[in-house]
Amino acid sequence: MGTDQEGFGVIIRICRSTGGRWDVLEQDRPIGSFDSREDATDFANEVTTGRAGASAIVLEEGSAGSEAVPDSSKQ
């Protein structure tokens, strides 16, 4: 539990959708959608709790290539 099929830690991604909501995805599968970034981040952190190797990242809007930025609230 907490790792993908290749043995790597699961990454929960948080990104802004074209509709303005914050979507939470696990392995490219949507698992939640929220009005605020804070609510999406809280949910993603709950999903990763207790899952060894799992982490949540926020894909910042407007960053070059949608680079992943670690969620500092989890540290």
Enumerate the domain spans of the chain.
Answer: 1-54
- Residue entry with tokens 């799992």: 54
C-alpha to C-alpha distance for 25 and 23, rounded to whole angstroms: 6
Mean predicted confidence (pLDDT) in 22-51: 95
* Cα dihedral sign, 31-20-39-73: positive
pTM of the model: 0.71
Q: What is the pLDDT of residue 9?
A: 85
Residue 7's Cβ-count burial label (10 Å; 0-12, 13-18, 19+) is exposed
CA dihedral 49, 55, 61, 64 (to 10 degrees): 170
